[in-house]
Chain A
Amino acid sequence: AQSVTQLGSHVSVSEGALVLLRCNYSSSVPPYLFWYVQYPNQGLQLLLKYTSAATLVKGINGFEAEFKKSETSFHLTKPSAHMSDAAEYFCAVSGRSSASKIIFGSGTRLSIRP
């Protein structure tokens, strides 16, 4: 069975600072990994998806995530935070079979200090 653990339910950074949101996965087979973002009063939207083509995945809005098999991690980063990045972020995992469902983590709320 697959699962993801997001470390930290709430992260606060200053505007312009590095954003680092942590995600560790558990999977007995090479997984697909995702980051989704949920802005206030909206549904989730896909930030990026890892499928094994490259370990560093670039997403929308300047975010990227690096797949590290040795650490079973898929942390999300952005070099410089913007006020508009304030949202809840969800890491997710699935198997590679077309019948595999996506399993979501518990979420990390990102706050940006002026």
Chain B
Amino acid sequence: DVKVTQSSRYLVKRTGEKVFLECVQDMDHENMFWYRQDPGLGLRLIYFSYDVKMKEKGDIPEGYSVSREKKERFSLILESTSTNQTSMYLCASSPQLAGLNEKLFFGSGTQLSVL
């Protein structure tokens, strides 16, 4: 089975702190994604990557950046956290073979609370 692992289940940070959210997948997938999940809003795409060192903005990239130095690892960076970034963050991956709308495999999420 594909495994997508997110480094932390819960994080509590203070406003202005820098946060790294790490995601690792073990199935050699080319595509990786970061979403945030908020009640009543569903999942919104922050950034995605279709290859090492490649990244594309999603629908809500403001306040976030990403890094993909190795194929299996995709990091989400919050340079200076704000309270409106309190959310559940979900990482996902998929194989390239059919494109970005191939079946997504998700990690179990990181609940970030910014105080």
- A interface residue numbers (CB < 8 A to B): 9, 32, 36, 41-46, 49, 90, 94-102, 104-107
Given A43-B90, A43-B109, A102 and B104 contact (CB-CB distance below 8 Å) = yes
B residues near A44, Cβ cutoff 8 Å? 43, 90, 92, 104, 106
Inter-chain CA distance A107–B88, complex, in Å, is 14
Given A43-B4, A101-B58, A90 and B43 contact (CB-CB distance below 8 Å) = yes
Asked if B108 is an interface residue, CB under 8 A from chain A, the answer is yes
Interface centre among A32, A36, A94, A101 (most CB of B within 10 A): A101
A-B contact count (CB 8 A): 57
Interface SS of chain A? loop
A2 → chain B, closest Cβ, in Å?
Answer: 10
A43 B42 Cβ-Cβ under 8 A: no
Inter-chain CA distance A45–B103, complex, in Å, is 9
B residues near A99, Cβ cutoff 8 Å? 99-100
Other-chain residue from B40, B45, B106 in contact with A43 (beta carbon distance below 8 A): B106
Inter-chain CA distance A27–B26, complex, in Å, is 34
Q: What 1/0 flags go to B17-59 for Cβ under 8 Å of A?
A: 0000000000000000001000011111100100000000010
Inter-chain CA distance A102–B100, complex, in Å, is 7
B108 A43 Cβ-Cβ under 8 A: yes
A21 → chain B, closest Cβ, in Å?
Answer: 14
Inter-chain CA distance A44–B37, complex, in Å, is 11
B43 A100 Cβ-Cβ under 8 A: no
A residues near B100, Cβ cutoff 8 Å? 94, 98-102
Q: Which residue of A lies closest to B58 (CB)?
A: A101
